Amino acid sequence: MAKASALKIGLFGIGLDTYWPQFEGLKERLEGYLHVVHEKLAAIHPAVINAGLIDTTDKAFEAGRLFRQQDVDIVFLYVSTYALSSTVLPVVQKAKVPVIILNLAPAESIDYAVFNAMGNRTKMTGEWLAFCNACPVPEIANVFTRTGIKFQQVTGMLHDPACWKEIIGWVEAAAVANIMQNNRLGCMGHYYSGMLDIYTDLTEQYAYFGGHIELLEVEELAALRKQVTIEAVKGRLKLFAETFDVQPDCPAGELEKAAVTAVALDKLVEQYQLGSMAYYYKGTGNKENEEAISSIILGNSMLTARGIPVAGEYEIKNAQAMKIMDSFEAGGSFTEYYAMDFKDDVVLMGHDGPGHIAIAEGKTKVRPLKVYHGKVGQGLSVEMSVKNGPVTLLSVVEQKDKLILLLAEAEAVSGPILEIGNTNSRYRFPIGARKFVNNWNSQGPAHHCAVGVGHISSKIEKLGQLLDMDVIKVC
C-alpha cells in the first residue's frame, strides 16, 4: 500500500430491478457478491463508500450524489449481472473520478451438468443471470466511450488472486494520486542559471498533479537557524552519529553547522507543511544564506528518508518524481547518469547533494568536501549506493505541450564506485547500457531522474492512467 493518504474509494454494484420478482433469491445472492468485493477492498484500504446494488435510474442519481458528497477519489463498479447502462452513467457522471469496471464472475465456470439437470427453466434462468456479469460490459464501455468517460477494466473471477493483485495496484495508484493532489511542494531559492532543461511551467504541474507549490526564500531558513538551541544541536549531532557513518576527517565545526541547519529545516517543513522540496541558491556573498545552503545536505537527506523528498538544483519536476516513488514506498533518490562502463555494460548514476538514505546499501557515509563543484561553498556531503537488486527509474518529462512519465526498470549491481562524497550506483539494464541511454534520451527528459527500489512500472503506469498522463517505459 502507498504511504498514508486521504483516499476515499467509491463502490457500487449494478443489477436490474425487473429481475427480482421474477427470480427468487437472485438479488440477495448478487448483494452477497458485492459484500465480498466490499470486504476485499476494505482490507486493502478501509475508506470505502458503498452505494449498494444500483438497479434503477433514481438510485443511480442518488449514488452519484453520495459519491460527490463523500468526495471519493476513485470508483469501482462491480458488474454482478446484466444491467441497463442508464443505471450506471448518472453515477459516474456525477462522481467525475476515474472508474474501474470489475467484471468478476462468481466462479471459474458454470457447472453445466448441474445447471442442465435443474429441470426448472425459471430457476435455470436465475442461475444463468448470476453468472451474467460479462453481458453488460460492452454496453457500459460503449456509453462511457461516447460520453467521454475514461475507464479501466479488471476481468476474471471474484476470488482470483491475480484479479485482486490488479485491483490492489489500482488502489495503490489512486492513493498516490491522492497524495500528489494534496502535496505541498516547497521551492527554495531559484533555478540554476542556464540549466534550461530544469525550467518548468508551474501551472502545468498543478494541471497534472494538483497540490500546492510554495515559493520560499533562503533567508527564511537562515532566520530559523538563529533560533536553534544548543540542546537541539546536541540532539541532532547524536542523531547524525546514529544515522550516518560519519568519517573521522569530518570537521566538528561543519557537523555542528549541518546540525543547526537540519533542525531549522524541520521547522521550515513544519511551518509550511511541506511534503517535498526543491532547492538551489547561487549566493551573492551573504554569509548567513551561504552557510545555510552549504550545510543543508545532511538535513535534506534525513528529510528525504522520512518521506519528504528533496531535489537539488531546483529540479521541481524531479521533486514530483521523487514524491511519486516515495509514495509507492520505493524510495526515490535524486540522481542522474554521468558515465557508462562499457566493460561491465553498466550505467553509472548518482549526484551530489542529498540522497535517499533509507534505500542505501549499508550505512550512508558522511564525507567532507573542500569544494562543492559548480555550487557555493564547502562542507559535508553524503556518499551512498542504492540497495543492490531491482530498481525503477522515473522522470517527469516536460514536452512541448504536455507532461509525461518516463520510466525504466533495471538492477542495481555491486562493483566499484567513485568515492567522492556523492551518491553513486551501478545499474544494469535488460536492453544494455547503450540502448538504454539512446532510448531514454530520445524522449527528451531533463538530465535528472528519481530512482527507487523494486520493479514498480505497472504501478506507475496505472498512476499515469489515473492522472491522464502518457507513460513511456524504456525497458
Mean of the pLDDT values across residues 317-322? 96
Judge whether residue 370 has pLDDT over 90.
Answer: no
Contact of 426 with 133, CB cutoff 8 Å = no
Nearby residues of 374 by Cβ (< 8 Å), 6 or more positions away:
none
4 within some domain = no
Q: In this predicted structure, what is the pLDDT of residue 115?
A: 67
390 within some domain = yes
Per-residue model confidence as pLDDT tens digits over 128-172: 777 788 889 999 999 999 999 999 999 999 999 999 999 999 999
Mean of the pLDDT values across residues 361-372? 86
Boundaries of domain holding 133: 9-180
26 within some domain = yes
Task: Give the pLDDT band (50/70/90) at residue 109.
Answer: confident
Question: pTM for this structure?
Answer: 0.94
2 within some domain = no
Do 191 and 287 reside in the same domain of the chain? yes
Judge whether residue 1 has pLDDT over 60.
Answer: no
Share of the chain above pLDDT 90, in %: 79
Question: Taken in order 383, 388, 391, 393, is the CA torsion positive or negative?
Answer: positive
Phi-psi bin for 424: left (phi > 0), alpha (psi -120 to 50), beta? beta
412: its cell numbers = 542495481
Q: In this predicted structure, what is the pLDDT of residue 2?
A: 60
Mean of the pLDDT values across residues 372-393? 86
Per-residue model confidence as pLDDT tens digits over 183-217: 999 999 999 899 999 999 999 999 999 999 999 99
Domain boundary among 157, 180, 203: 180
Do 196 and 147 reside in the same domain of the chain? no
Task: Give the pLDDT band (50/70/90) at residue 125.
Answer: confident
Half-sphere exposure for 240 (CA within 13 Å, toward CB): 30
Do 126 and 272 reside in the same domain of the chain? no
Do 425 and 322 reside in the same domain of the chain? yes
Judge whether residue 369 has pLDDT over 90.
Answer: no
Neighbours of 44 (CB within 10 A): 16
Do 141 and 80 reside in the same domain of the chain? yes
3 within some domain = no
Judge whether residue 365 has pLDDT over 80.
Answer: yes
Do 252 and 397 reside in the same domain of the chain? yes
Task: Tell me how far apart the alpha carbons of residues 371 and 378 are, in angstroms, rounded to a whole number.
Answer: 5
SS3 per residue for 82-97: CCCHHHCHHHHHHHCC
CATH of the domain at 129: 3.40.50.10940
Give 328 or 112, the one with higher predicted confidence. 328
Do 439 and 400 reside in the same domain of the chain? yes
Do 167 and 278 reside in the same domain of the chain? no
Per-residue model confidence as pLDDT tens digits over 72-98: 999 999 999 999 999 999 999 999 999
Do 231 and 305 reside in the same domain of the chain? yes
From 384, 366, 382, select the one nearest 249 (Cα to Cα): 366
Q: In this predicted structure, what is the pLDDT of residue 413?
A: 94
1 within some domain = no
Judge whether residue 420 has pLDDT over 80.
Answer: no
Do 77 and 144 reside in the same domain of the chain? yes
Do 327 and 456 reside in the same domain of the chain? yes
Do 285 and 414 reside in the same domain of the chain? yes
Judge whether residue 17 has pLDDT over 60.
Answer: yes
Q: In this predicted structure, what is the pLDDT of residue 110?
A: 75
Domain boundary among 155, 180, 205: 180
Task: Tell me how far apart the alpha carbons of residues 103 and 155 are, in angstroms, rounded to a whole number.
Answer: 5
Per-residue model confidence as pLDDT tens digits over 327-338: 999 999 998 888
Q: In this predicted structure, what is the pLDDT of residue 374?
A: 66
> What is the pLDDT of the chain when averaged over all its residues?
93
Domains of the chain: total: 2
143 within some domain = yes
Residue type, 82: Y
Contact of 328 with 314, CB cutoff 8 Å = no
Domain boundary among 148, 180, 212: 180
Contact of 405 with 392, CB cutoff 8 Å = no
124 within some domain = yes
- Please state whether beta strands 403-413 and 470-473 pair in parallel, antiparallel, or not at all (unpaired): parallel
Per-residue model confidence as pLDDT tens digits over 395-412: 999 999 999 999 999 999
For 248-259, b/e burial (b = at least 16 CB within 10 A) is eebeeebbbbbb
